[in-house]
Amino acid sequence: MKKNVYAVILIAVILGSLLQLGLLAKGLSPLVEITRVLANEQDFPTSSEPLKVVGYTPSRITIDKIGLDLPITSVPLEHGTWKVNSDVANYAEGTSLVNEKDGNVGIFAHDKEKGFTKIKHLTNGDAIVVSGDGFVATYSVSKLTIAKPIEVDVYYATSKPQLTLVTCDGLFSEKRFVLTADLVSVNKL
């Protein structure tokens, strides 16, 4: 009898997880269609005008406070999940591109030295720099939380531009450490 109850609970958890991932994929897939700025030098405003960055794919993340400097690999959403590549940060395709208007840039990495282990030492106000396509964006840490692996809403788009970093947490990596940071500025390199 107990085995049947455990089997039913396990099936319910798996189906719930698949449903949430399916909704995430369906809700974020239009964001992949965002057009990126591919302009000549003359198309950029003068230094007194604000940049109007439509969006760019992140290619490097740097956090001076913890000595983190990693390339970012773009990872497509396949069958409701993203592959986690080792020794790099991973950009969750389908989450927002880096931009000044809105959205949520999703980046994740293993809980290793050549990953995101050290992000657990960050505090509110610490700076995170994400560069790519000739631009550099600076974010400020605003929230640190622990989530369950099935809580994929941490990557949902937001009305203000933000960055979400995720890595494993817990004794058996059964939890997710989630860091949220708000956009401070985007500048041309």
pLDDT, tens digit only, all 189 positions of the chain = 555 655 556 565 565 555 454 544 444 433 333 323 323 333 334 444 455 657 999 999 999 999 999 999 999 999 888 999 999 999 999 999 999 999 999 999 999 999 999 999 999 999 999 999 999 999 999 999 999 988 889 999 999 999 999 999 999 999 999 999 999 999 998
Residue from 60, 57, 129 nearest 88 by CA: 60
Residue located via tokens 């692996």: 149
Token pair in block for residue 178:
């989630």
Q: What is the pLDDT of residues 74-102, one digit of tens each?
A: 999 998 889 999 999 999 999 999 999 99
Q: CA–CA separation, 153 vs 1, rounded Å?
A: 35
Q: CA–CA separation, 177 vs 175, rounded Å?
A: 7
Q: Which helix (H) or strand (E) holds 10?
A: helix 2-28
What contacts 24, CB < 8 A, 6 or more positions away? 80, 94, 152, 153, 155, 156
> Strand pairing of 175-188 and 162-169?
antiparallel
Residue located via tokens 């239009």: 30
Q: CA–CA separation, 185 vs 4, rounded Å?
A: 54
Residue from 57, 67, 81 nearest 117 by CA: 67
Give me the residue spans of the domains in the chain.
2-188
- Torsion of the alpha carbons at 122, 127, 132 and 136, rounded to the nearest 10: 180
CA 167 to chain centre: 10
CATH 2.40.260.10 applies to domain 2-188? yes
Q: CA–CA separation, 176 vs 23, rounded Å?
A: 20
Q: pTM (2 decimals)?
A: 0.73
CA 17 to chain centre: 19
Q: CA–CA separation, 130 vs 69, rounded Å?
A: 10
Write down the pLDDT at residue 3. Answer: 59
